[in-house]
Structure 1
Amino acid sequence: MRLSTFLAVTAALTSAFTFATAKSLTGDRLLVVLPKADAKSTDEYSNFIDSLKGRGFQVAIEAVNAASLKLFSYGERQYDHLILLAPKAKRISPEVNAKTLIEFLDDGGNLLLTAGTDFGGVQRDFVKQLGVDFDVRGNVVIDHFHYLPLGPAQLEDEAETHSWLLADNFNANATAIVSDSVRQGAPVLFQGVAHRVLPGPQTPLVWPVLSGYPTTYSFDTSEGQSVSGKDTVLAAGKLHLVSAFQAHNNARVVVAGSPRLFSNTFFQTELPAGTGSTSNAQVPAGNAKFADEISAWAFHEKGVVKLRSVTYHKAGEPVPEKNPASFRVSDDIVYTAELSEYYDDKWHPFRNDGVQFEAVMIDPYLRKTLPLERTTTITAVYSAALKLPDVYGVFTFKLDFLRTGLTRVQQLDIVSILPFKHNDYPRYLTAAFPYYASAASLMVSFLAFCAIWLYNRPPVAKSKTG
């Protein structure tokens, strides 16, 4: 083989490998934790795992109680993403606990976590710190209006519980997490435990993705009790099935109350004809597409916004290589920001009408929505002409964009707004013309008085002689 041919083939293979592994912007090392690392447990989620491998992830599988399960080694994070499909485990491994999971999140790692009716202690403690509280053990989600009728083979264990929900009540604000194709497709088959979002400082960081209906409630039917209002803690609007969390460092967590949502059984279950938004023919449940989309969001394969550049300069002057550190009061400036959004394995211009600029000194003195000026192949350019406040001091030029399902974009620049020096003012001010006239009239009057006093002598009386 000639050297040029060998180099061309090598470059092509390298390019193909790079394309296959470049979808997640935060890395491709993925750890899947199962109840047991045997063939039975792996086969139960093989469709989901194969989908992850097809998207370019380097998937490692570990048992939940394996001694070799470590998220950090010598202080370095060993994986970029973590999937926990073992909700019954009270402990994950000797070296993984709720504190370790928080450290993994703080270090930029992303998680996809599933819960069940016997949700374990470590994982429950972890999600509570995110502002998510799962229902008590033994309770399951039930809906007598939105459920999948079970076949004869399943009636022994699942009879009349109506716990196989057909869920498509997606949060209207979570369009960046779940696309319209999933919303308008077949319902998601769900069986598991519900959760609620706790009030507190973490609440703005948690977004319900899939919620229950007004007819959905959570209850323990294991002993056949009758349902009463005092027994149902979670119902209707407070009941959520899948939620998403994004930390201040843009690390992401998806919390689902059903491990079976990702199983081959639910991926392959066919819905009755005419169920939900399906056609007259039987179609598979929407679990496969839904699982792909929420995992893609969790692992930074979509919904990522990047601020590429920020420039500001005095109006009428060329854009400098470096942004100036100071301006004068009431200066006219131009503020420009370039933003891109990542999805479908490439960067696109980010179009949004909520990009705002603020000039802040304790309180915002100036707030302006930046209009879209133009777009390039990968960026959207937002720019606005601004007049700085007539107040001098140290200001923060702030661009802070936070929307449901998108990474937070924040740019803070410290800029001094200076007063005019005594020699910076113009020689004559229009507003001071009355004072100039007063001074001039005073001088003219004084000169006139002096002239009159000097040259207007009294007449000298003539003396008589003789």
Structure 2
Amino acid sequence: MSKLEILYVFLSLSFIPLLCTSFSSDTPSERRVLVLLDDFALKSSHSLFFNSLHSRGFDLDFKLADDPKIAIQRYGQYLYDALILICPTVERFGGSIDAAAILDFVDSGHDLIVAADSNASDLIRTIATESGVDFDEDPEALVVDHSGYAVSGTEGDHTLIASDDFVKSDAILGNKRIEAILFQGIGHSLNPSNSLVLKVLSASPSAYSANPKSKLTSPPSLTGSTISLVSVIQARNNARILISGSVSLFSNRFFRSSVQKAGNPTKHDKSGNEQFLTELSKWVFHERGHLKAVNVQHHKIGEADEPAMYRINDDLEYSVEIYEWSGITWEPYVADDVQVQFYMMSPYVLKTLSTDGKGRYFTSFKVPDVYGVFQFKIEYQKLGHTTLSLSKQIPVRPFRHNEYERFIPAAYPYYGAAFSMVRISLPISLDRDNI
């Protein structure tokens, strides 16, 4: 074998791993995550959070936020499936990344976690604002709570808060009890015009946002339960975003600390931070609440094949299978609020689907007495779940001329009138013939 042939074989074999990688199956658990940090020291001080992600199969790539070699896409293809920003002070990202690139990353269906604090730069604030979250404009403001603070040896200005006002959603936070969360950082409000953003952890009614080192000369701009400590956004393309006003929320120190809320004699040996962020990160990275619909079918009752069109007043059956990703496998999704519309300009039929408890949803109904181009539509939106938007077009025709009943009961009076006219006109025509 010549040297040229040996080189050709070597190159061919070297490309096999690339081809295998390119055509590997893509599931919600097999994902690469880029983690941008202010300082590599955060990698060790927040290691419990990162280890939780790594243990669930995520491949974490740590880089400094200002690294000039950073790139999130190459040749038009994204290199990562999710992005974590724990770099509140960065004024400008390295490489080709900027705020617009990160928002395009989300618009392409990828997930994002942003952790900020009182040192949050304009860049981080811009990303949050574009996501529907507005941090307090005062750069020195912190969330203060003189009633719901965490009891500690150095209570000080009561900026260390013990909060347990969680969103009530098992899909987002699981169904296990979570102890109070230790939080120290800045608060934010939600843009009222953005219906996609949701508070996951709220401040207590006694909290407010202000500079704890100076006296209040005017009412705080953020007060009470309107202050969000941690928020999430699910975009219309089902991309998910988590925004926190505290970097310490993710730290090993807060994960391992005991917690006691002021006014509550019970002291817990461990805060709920680790459980809270573990469950919340499962939702953000689509390990929970991620739905898919398959095997959409419709046909006439008594038949098995899908017709090219229906006729008015036909009886039909409709079915679909819906599954939820558990983090390991697709499992049947069970609910009693999935509905299908038979739609043309507006819903002519709206039916709640029955389920067999194994993922299959089904119903039957009569085609309305209206012909045109209809759609089977499912628009399923439920808190904490990805949106299912299904549509399938089908024409509906009227009766053909030979498909109508020969004698319609409602027309009997007209039949009688016609025959009566025949009997009256017959003698008149005979008289004219005689003339």
Asked if Structure 1 and Structure 2 have the same fold, meaning a TM-score greater than 0.5 normalized by the shorter chain, the answer is yes
**SS of 2:324 mapped into structure 1:** strand
Q: 2: distance between equivalents of 1:23 and 1:357?
A: 29
1:372-419 deviation digits (Å, cap 9, x = unpaired): 2x123xx2x221221222222222221010111100111011121212
Letter in 2 for 1:218: S
Tell me if 1:225 matches 2:215. yes
Query: Which sections of structure 1, spanning at least 5 residues, go unmatched?
Result: 1-20, 458-466
Letter in 2 for 1:144: H
**SS of 1:375 mapped into structure 2:** coil
Letter in 2 for 1:75: G
Counterpart position of 1:351: 334
**SS of 1:204 mapped into structure 2:** coil
Q: Please, which of 270, 279, 293 is the counterpart of residue 307 of structure 1?
A: 293
CA drift at 1:119: 1.4
**SS of 2:63 mapped into structure 1:** strand
Counterpart position of 1:179: 174
Of residues 104-113 and 446-455 in structure 1, the stretch that sits farther from structure 2 once superposed is: 446-455
Counterpart position of 2:120: 119
Conserved? CA contact 1:91–1:121, under 8 Å: no
TM-score normalised by length of structure 2: 0.88
1:68-95 deviation digits (Å, cap 9, x = unpaired): 2111112110111111111121222241
Letter in 2 for 1:185: I
Conserved? CA contact 2:178–2:275, under 8 Å: no
Tell me if 1:163 matches 2:154. no
Tell me if 1:144 matches 2:146. yes
Counterpart position of 2:16: none
Q: Please, which of 328, 342, 357 is the counterpart of residue 375 of structure 1?
A: 357
Tell me if 1:237 matches 2:239. no
1:273–1:75 CA distance, 2 compared to 1 (3 A): closer
Larger CA Rg, structure 1 vs 2: 1
Q: 1: distance between equivalents of 2:217 and 2:148?
A: 18
TM-score normalised by length of structure 1: 0.83
Counterpart position of 1:199: 192
Counterpart position of 1:53: 54
Letter in 1 for 2:33: L
CA drift at 1:214: 0.9
Q: 1: distance between equivalents of 2:404 and 2:57?
A: 64
1:246–1:361 CA distance, 2 compared to 1 (3 A): same
Paired positions, count: 411
Tell me if 1:252 matches 2:240. yes
Conserved? CA contact 1:274–1:281, under 8 Å: no
Q: 1: distance between equivalents of 2:180 and 2:377?
A: 42
CA drift at 1:255: 0.9
**SS of 2:165 mapped into structure 1:** coil
Letter in 2 for 1:125: T
Counterpart position of 1:460: none
1:155-187 deviation digits (Å, cap 9, x = unpaired): 4xxx52111111110122x33111231xx3311
Conserved? CA contact 2:148–2:261, under 8 Å: no
1:32–1:364 CA distance, 2 compared to 1 (3 A): same
**SS of 2:215 mapped into structure 1:** coil
Conserved? CA contact 1:143–1:216, under 8 Å: yes
Q: 2: distance between equivalents of 1:34 and 1:62?
A: 6
* Percent sequence identity over aligned pairs: 33
Tell me if 1:437 matches 2:431. no
**SS of 2:421 mapped into structure 1:** helix
Q: 1: distance between equivalents of 2:120 and 2:151?
A: 26
CA drift at 1:197: 1.1
1:235-274 deviation digits (Å, cap 9, x = unpaired): 1232111111111221111111111111111011112499
Counterpart position of 1:464: none
Conserved? CA contact 2:29–2:58, under 8 Å: no
Query: Which sections of structure 2, spanning at least 5 residues, go unmatched?
Result: 1-23
Counterpart position of 1:188: 181
Q: 1: distance between equivalents of 2:325 and 2:109?
A: 18
Letter in 2 for 1:375: G
Give the 5 Å matches for 1:332-411. 332-372=315-355, 374-376=356-358, 379=359, 381-411=360-390
Counterpart position of 1:43: 44
**SS of 1:253 mapped into structure 2:** strand
Letter in 1 for 2:211: D
**SS of 2:170 mapped into structure 1:** coil
Conserved? CA contact 2:143–2:186, under 8 Å: yes
Q: 2: distance between equivalents of 1:22 and 1:407?
A: 21
**SS of 1:312 mapped into structure 2:** strand
Conserved? CA contact 1:23–1:345, under 8 Å: no
Counterpart position of 2:257: 269
Conserved? CA contact 2:150–2:261, under 8 Å: no
1:228–1:97 CA distance, 2 compared to 1 (3 A): same
Counterpart position of 1:215: 206
Tell me if 1:423 matches 2:402. yes
Conserved? CA contact 1:91–1:120, under 8 Å: no
1:275–1:415 CA distance, 2 compared to 1 (3 A): farther
Conserved? CA contact 1:334–1:385, under 8 Å: yes
CA drift at 1:319: 2.5
Q: 1: distance between equivalents of 2:401 and 2:109?
A: 52
CA drift at 1:351: 1.7
Counterpart position of 2:8: none
CA drift at 1:366: 2.2
**SS of 1:149 mapped into structure 2:** coil
CA drift at 1:359: 2.1
1:177–1:273 CA distance, 2 compared to 1 (3 A): closer
Give the 5 Å matches for 1:64-83. 64-83=65-84
Aligned-residue CA RMSD (Å) = 2.4
**SS of 1:48 mapped into structure 2:** helix
Q: 1: distance between equivalents of 2:25 and 2:209?
A: 41
Tell me if 1:93 matches 2:94. yes
1:355-379 deviation digits (Å, cap 9, x = unpaired): 111122222222222222x123xx2
